[in-house]
């Protein structure tokens, strides 16, 4: 049980004294960057899905 208490104590010390936390401005910039990247990736995947759907539709209608 002493090992668990020591682990918690060391974790607290590391999080409060050794970790460099981002400023509020840095956090906002990172959040905007992630949001923009996610939207771009979503649009690329949507476009690929539409193209593949169109190609498959053309393929299946040519077989009928």
Global pTM reads 0.68
59 Cβ contact partners less than 8 Å away, ≥ 6 residues apart? none
Give residue-wise pLDDT tens across range 19-52: 999 999 999 999 999 999 999 999 999 999 999 9
Q: Residue 48's closest CA among 59, 38, 56, 36?
A: 56
Dihedral sign from CA coordinates of 32, 36, 38, 39: positive
Is residue 2 pLDDT above 90, yes or no?
Answer: no
CA angle 21, 25, 29 (to 5 degrees): 100
């Amino acid at each position: 049980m002493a090992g668990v208490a020591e682990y918690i104590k060391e974790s607290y010390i590391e999080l409060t004294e050794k970790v460099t936390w981002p400023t509020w401005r840095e956090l906002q910039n990172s959040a905007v960057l992630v949001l923009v990247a996610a939207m771009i990736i979503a649009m690329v995947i949507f476009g690929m899905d539409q193209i593949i759907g169109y190609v498959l539709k053309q393929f299946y209608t040519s077989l009928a």
